[in-house]
Structure 1
Amino acid sequence: MEQAVPAECEFQNLLQATLEGSPDLSQQALRALQTLLRFKPEAIKLGNAKASPLTTAVRAGNVECTKVLLKARASPNEQDDKGVSPLHLATFDGNPDLCKALLFYRADVDACDRHGQAPLFFAPSKDVCKLLLERRSLM
């Protein structure tokens, strides 16, 4: 008789396959991740001790996985022990598509890390600066 895989292991394996696999494997894993989150929404809270699933996806620069996690209600405003949010990470990497996804799901453009620095402080490109400033002007 086959043993059920704990949700945490299943989720972490799918997340890693989505982020690190070949394009075909990543697409299959992304679909499986969507299915898992549809039937086990609590899996969104599973992560390793170092980072949440959303932070892991943002660090990997994976826009599609980030969108899936945000749609499943991952918080775009979570912060690590240094006060760094997913928007800080996306901004630092200069990834406008990730920034757009996080902002669409209401990431706080003014969230400060433990040094009092908002994401705009880290923006390396004109495109990312423009996105953050436009969002700020809407508030």
Structure 2
Amino acid sequence: MLAYQKILIALDVFAVYQPVLERGLQLANKDAEVSLIHATLPHVYFEPYGAAFETDFVDNINKQSREKLQQIAKDHGIPAERAYSLLGYASDEIQKQAEKIHADVIVIGTHGRSGLKLLLGSTANAVLHGVKQDVLAVKI
């Protein structure tokens, strides 16, 4: 079996991401291109009011995630141009970026909750069923 050459690691930089990052890096040989991705929702809803906040609030979150992702990349020797902090729905952005960079595998975290419905989580499940690449789901 050939080693993966292009690895896309999807991180939630505002949650526990270390197990996902470590597992993705373990897949990489010395010639592999490792990329990181984080997606910020384009809007935020506050329950129970259903009020959507966009613009400044979302821009601030996206800026924080970009800075955090860049620091993670730097700490692990990943070039800044392969750290993608995007605005959009995580599963959609992960799928699009995986195609764009011709990733061989996507590494993504799972919630690790019990029950069949919660086995993967909605983002990991959507990614798994929407891509051509292998997907490694890491239990957090």
TM-score norm. by structure 2 comes to 0.29
Structure having greater relative contact order (Cα 8 Å, sep ≥ 6):
2
Counting strand residues as a fraction of each chain, which structure ranks higher? Answer: 2
* Greater per-residue helix proportion: 1
TM-score, normalised by the number of residues in structure 1: 0.29
